[in-house]
Amino acid sequence: MTNNQNSNEPVDWIPEAFNDAAQNIAKDAVRQLIESEKKVIGLGSGPMAAAIIQEMRNLPNKEIIECVPSSTEIKLEAQRAKLKIVDEIRIPEIEVVFDGADQIDSNYNMIKGGGGALLREKVLHSATKRLVITAESLKYVEIFNRSVPIEILPFSQHLVQKELESQEGSPELRVLKEGYPYVTENGNFILDTTFPSSSFSSLSDIQKKEVELKSIPGVLEVGLFTRRADVYYKAMYNGSFDIIKF
C-alpha cells in the first residue's frame, strides 16, 4: 500500500474517515492494557495518542495512573482529561507506551517525528516494558516512501545538511507557515530528509542508516524506529480495526 500524502508534510491529523476507528481502538487498547493496579503510562504524540487520552478520561481508577507525556500538546490533552502527570524521574518505571506512527513498513519498522517529538518519543520507547502503536491503514506501507525527520542542534545545521547530501539524502529544514524554522521543545531544528528507497529495503539497511545518521556531529535523534512494538492497531476507513501482536 502506498501513502499518497506529501512526503514532506508533517503528519498531525486523523482523516475524518478514521475518526470512528480511532475511538474504537482507544476503547479496546485502554480496556486491554490498563487494569486495576497502579501503572506508569508513557504518552506519545499525535492524534491517535490523543484519542487514547480521551478514552482514559472515563476510567474509574484514573487517579492511580501516572502519565509521562512526550510533548506539551499531549500534556495539555492529559490535563484536560484530569489525568495525573508525572515528570521524567518516572520514565524508567514506564509499563506501557501508547503512540502513533507516520509510516510503518512491512517489517513493522516505523518513521516517526512528523509532530516534532521524535527525541522524547524514542526515550519513552526505549524505557517501556510494553509498546502499543496505533495508526491509520494508509500509513502501513511496503517500503518507506516519505521523509525521515532528523532532530539537529541548530549550530550544526549547515554541516549536517552537507553530510546528509553526501549520504544521498535531500534535507529540508522544517519551517512554520510564517517561514521561521520549526523549533522542537528541546530547542532544536528538524531536517525532513528523503533518501532513496534502497536505503530501506531491509531491517539491516534501516539499522545501518540509523547508525550512520546518528554518527553525524550535531544529529541528536533520527525518526527511524526499529524497536518492534508489542501491539499494532491498524485503523480502517469503515470504523473497524485490525490488531497485530508480537
Total count of residues recorded for the chain: 246
Q: Is 6 left (phi over 0), alpha (psi -120 to 50) or beta?
A: beta
| Spatial distance between the Cα atoms of 145 and 194, rounded to a whole number of angstroms | 8
Q: Break the chain down into helix, strand, coil percent, rounded to 5.
A: 35, 25, 40
DSSP 217: T
What totals of helices (H) and strands (E) does the chain contain, helices first?
6, 14
**Cell output for 79:** 490535563
Catalytic residue among 121, 136, 151, 163: 121
| Spatial distance between the Cα atoms of 153 and 174, rounded to a whole number of angstroms | 13
Examine the residue annotation and report whether 121 is marked as an active-site residue of this protein: yes
Catalytic residues: 121
